[in-house]
Structure 1
């Protein structure tokens, strides 16, 4: 599995309900394609977000995001550096 990061920007601050609705749209597609959500970090102004996934590859995460209608700025694979 590959560690994949999704960067998002929103024109308006996102409420908890907005974020939960997006997750509800992503969950079925993610499950079908073997994409596992690990964690998300939202900015204090709630207009930027980074989501981390374990997935077969970055392209699979892109496909899930597109199928669910979830907007994203960048999606990239990386490795975790632990200190």
Structure 2
């Protein structure tokens, strides 16, 4: 499994309810393709977000995002560096 990061930007601040709607659309697609959500970090102004997933690869995460209609800026694979 790869560690995959999804970067998102929003034109307006997002409420918890708005973010939940996207998550509800992503869940079935993620399960279908073996993508596991790990955590998300939203900026204080709620206009930027980073989501982390364990997935077969970055392209699979792109496919899930597109099928669920979830907007994203960048998707990339990386390694977790822990101190």
TM-score, with length taken from structure 2: 1.00
Matched, 1:59 2:59: yes
State the Cα distance separating 1:68 from its structure 2 match: 0.3
Matched, 1:79 2:69: no
User: What are the within-5 Å matches in structure 2 for residues 1-80 of structure 1?
Assistant: 1-80=1-80
Secondary structure of residue in 2 paired with 1:8: strand
1:25, 1:53 → 2: CA distance?
16
Q: How many residues align?
A: 83
1:69, 1:80 → 2: CA distance?
27
Detail structure 1 runs of 4+ shifted over 3 Å in the superposition. none
Per-residue CA deviations over 1:33-77 (Å, capped at 9, x if unaligned) read 000000000000000000000000000000000000000000000
Q: What are the ranges of 5 or more consecutive residues in structure 2 without an aligned counterpart?
A: none
1:8, 1:36 → 2: CA distance?
18
